Amino acid sequence: MKKQNKPIYVTQPAMPPLDEFTEYLKKIWQNKILTNNGPLHQQLEQELAEYLGVKYISLFSNGTLALVTALQALRITGEVITTPYSFVATTHSLWWNNIKPVFADIEPNTFNLDPEKVEAAITPQTTAIMPVHVYGNPCNLDALQQIADTYGLKLIYDAAHAFGVKVNGNSVLNYGDLSILSFHATKVFNTIEGGAIICPDEKTKKRIDFLKNFGFAGETTVIEPGINAKMNELQSAYGLLQLKYVDDNIAKRKTIADIYRKNLIGIKGLRFLNDIEGVTHSYSYFPILIDSKEYAMTRDGLYEELKSNNIFGRRYFFPLISQFPSYKGLPSAQADNLPVAEGITKQVICLPIYPDLTMDEQMNVCDIIKANQRT
């Protein structure tokens, strides 16, 4: 095994060529439009809608504000059923809207909300479901839509991990009432910080655009208390460049995922997710699950072992959102309500995956995992 001198992180943004960014900067310096629906912002919305195969997209300054605004846009109140197995921002967006989160358990094979558990959690106060396509793997879209239709609930997908993901050729972002993307630096496609709401009709897009701009619907008309969640021109320029290279970057991520699968298959007590038939993946994360009954170490043991070798995987998502102090008192946050999520969160490590990860670096990750397997 080679010594890993340079630290490897769970992810690293793929930087576009600096000179291409400088060209955009020159344009921005010339026209002096820095934000507020500028020309690059408009161009990025158009190009992203085309690339993703969606009707309407509104850009945001980050994914969290997109989530908060999506709930405002649909006037969601009361209780929303959501997953404990996600990044905290998913549930925080409910909290910021004075909505009570109700956690339901996840499926053991996709780690996404389990529709049966969602249905069982519905009360007269439930107004919406907020699932997450964790690691970009699509939720059980038909079952969730059926539940939403039957009970008259809104369906808002946190698709922060699902940039470019398609199901039978159709963007996963076209499901539900709204979908939210994150364009944070750690994502497959990034605008440094950024995010978006995807919606199916012009009227909703208009409302979302008012809401992200203080509620302004004209120079002197404020329709309601909106927020400031606009993406600026520098972020938009960076996004246009990211988009130019995103297909190459996704292809590199796929190669890395394939190499992990080839090298890690057959290790006792180690499980990973495979591609799903009919799904176009974008390989945003590469989670593995460690079962310490069969592997020679605990999950945390392996996590520390990798760290001591300069490999910084991440335990996304540990702890569960339901275990954080703000939420752990909720009845739905109790461990007996979430047995599958409680199990997965103790087993998961996301391995480094990003376009510039070299073959040598990746083999070092695999070698350490292999060296510590039970013989």
User: Residue 298 interacts with ligand T4K (CB under 6 A)?
Assistant: no
Residue selected from 44, 132, 188, 353 as contacting ligand T4K according to rule CB under 6 A: 132
Residue selected from 95, 96, 214, 312 as contacting ligand T4K according to rule CB under 6 A: 312
Distance from C-alpha of 322 to C-alpha of 332, rounded to nearest angstrom: 8
Kindly tell me the burial class for residue 360, based on how many C-beta atoms sit within 10 Å of its own C-beta (0-12, 13-18, 19 or more): exposed
User: For ligand T4K, what does the binding mask look like between residues 216 and 235, x meaning CB under 6 A?
Assistant: --------------------
Residue selected from 4, 35, 37, 186 as contacting ligand T4K according to rule CB under 6 A: 186
| 154, 166, 187, 346: the active-site residue | 187
The two structure tokens encoding residue 59: 């850009």
| Closest C-alpha to 125, from 90, 80, 155 | 80
- Closer by beta carbon to ligand T4K, 45 or else 267: 45
Q: How many residues bind ligand T4K (CB under 6 A)?
A: 24
Distances in whole angstroms, Cα of residue 364 to Cα of each of 14, 251, 285, 311, 338: 21, 21, 18, 9, 35
| Stretch touching ligand T4K by CB under 6 A, among 5-13, 135-143, 227-235, 268-276 | 5-13
Residues 78-107 that bind ligand T4K (CB under 6 A): 86-87, 89-90
Least distance (Å) from ligand T4K to the CB of residue 264?
21
E strands, the chain, where?
8-9, 56-60, 79-82, 100-103, 126-130, 154-158, 166-167, 170-171, 178-182, 195-199, 216-218, 221-222, 270-272, 279-280, 286-290, 311-312, 348-351
The two structure tokens encoding residue 229: 């969640």
Closest residue to bound ligand T4K by CB: 63
User: Residue 129 interacts with ligand T4K (CB under 6 A)?
Assistant: no
Cis-peptide into 272, omega within 30 deg: no
Distance from C-alpha of 368 to C-alpha of 344, rounded to nearest angstrom: 22
Residue selected from 8, 11, 112, 235 as contacting ligand T4K according to rule CB under 6 A: 11
- Closer by beta carbon to ligand T4K, 184 or else 252: 184
187 is catalytic: yes
User: Residue 182 interacts with ligand T4K (CB under 6 A)?
Assistant: yes
Residue selected from 45, 158, 177, 342 as contacting ligand T4K according to rule CB under 6 A: 158
Least distance (Å) from ligand T4K to the CB of residue 70?
11
- Closer by beta carbon to ligand T4K, 190 or else 364: 190
Q: What is the DSSP code string of 114-175?
A: -HHHHHHT--TTEEEEE-B-GGG----HHHHHHHHHHHT-EEEEE-TT-TT-EETTEEGGGS
- Interface residue list for ligand T4K (CB under 6 A): 9-13, 62-64, 86-87, 89-90, 132, 158, 160-161, 182, 184-186, 195, 312, 314, 316
Q: What positions carry a catalytic annotation?
A: 187
